[in-house]
């Protein structure tokens, strides 16, 4: 049984050395009710080697900063890519470039709040129209 309507899970880890270790040791728990998405932050070297992976449940506001940013230092540089997704355990992979460091809304059995409102409005409109024409 799920803890609440539209509940979901994300892979979760804090500064794992790579994606494999993050997903392998991720805690299997439901996301809090005030979150809607899964967030992934991937730090990696200029050669593509992972430095750290962080994954967690997130609020919509935390997903406004998706994309990749290059950090240049005197001796080394690294890239940080952030992505968000919607759906049950949707954050399997890590973002590595601008094409996958995105805010992906994927419907997988969950209805976002706008869909719930649209459905309610459609049902209300149907009742009103039926009443008028009967």
What's the pTM value of the predicted model, to 2 decimals? Answer: 0.76
Query: How much is the pLDDT for 76?
Result: 73
CATH number for the domain harbouring residue 84: 2.10.60
Specify if 79 maps to a domain.
yes
CA–CA distance, 110 with 108 (Å, rounded to integer): 6
Average pLDDT over residues 53-59: 98
Using 50, 70 and 90 to split pLDDT, how confident is the model at 74?
low
Q: Is residue 92 part of a domain?
A: yes
The number of distinct structural domains making up the chain is 1
Q: Which domain holds residue 39?
A: 13-109
Question: How far is the C-alpha of 108 from the C-alpha of 112, rounded, in Å?
Answer: 11
Instruction: Please report which confidence band the pLDDT of residue 122 belongs to, taking 50, 70 and 90 as the band edges.
Output: very low
Number of Cβ within 10 Å of residue 4's Cβ equals 8
In a domain, 42, yes or no: yes
pLDDT given for residue 106 in this prediction: 63
Q: Is residue 115 part of a domain?
A: no
pLDDT in tens, 81-115: 999 999 999 999 999 999 999 999 865 555 554 44
How many Cα atoms are found within 13 Å in the side-chain-facing hemisphere of 61?
A: 1
The answer to whether residue 51 scores a pLDDT higher than 60 is yes
Average confidence score pLDDT of the chain = 84
Type and span of the H or E element at 69? strand 67-72
Question: Rounded to 5 degrees, what are φ and ψ at 128?
Answer: -65, -45
Q: Is residue 114 domain-resident?
A: no
């Amino acid at each position: 049984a799920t803890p609440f309507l539209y509940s979901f899970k994300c892979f979760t880890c804090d500064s794992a050395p790579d994606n494999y270790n993050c997903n392998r040791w991720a805690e299997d728990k439901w996301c809090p009710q005030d979150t809607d998405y899964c967030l992934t932050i991937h730090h990696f070297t200029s050669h593509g080697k992972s430095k750290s992976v962080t994954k967690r449940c997130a609020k919509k506001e935390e997903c406004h900063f998706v994309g990749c940013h290059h950090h240049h230092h005197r001796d080394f540089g690294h890239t940080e890519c952030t992505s968000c997704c919607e759906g049950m355990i949707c954050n399997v992979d890590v973002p590595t470039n601008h094409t996958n460091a995105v805010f992906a809304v994927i419907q997988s059995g969950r209805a976002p709040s706008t869909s719930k409102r649209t459905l309610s409005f459609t049902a209300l409109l149907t009742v009103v129209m039926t009443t008028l024409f009967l």
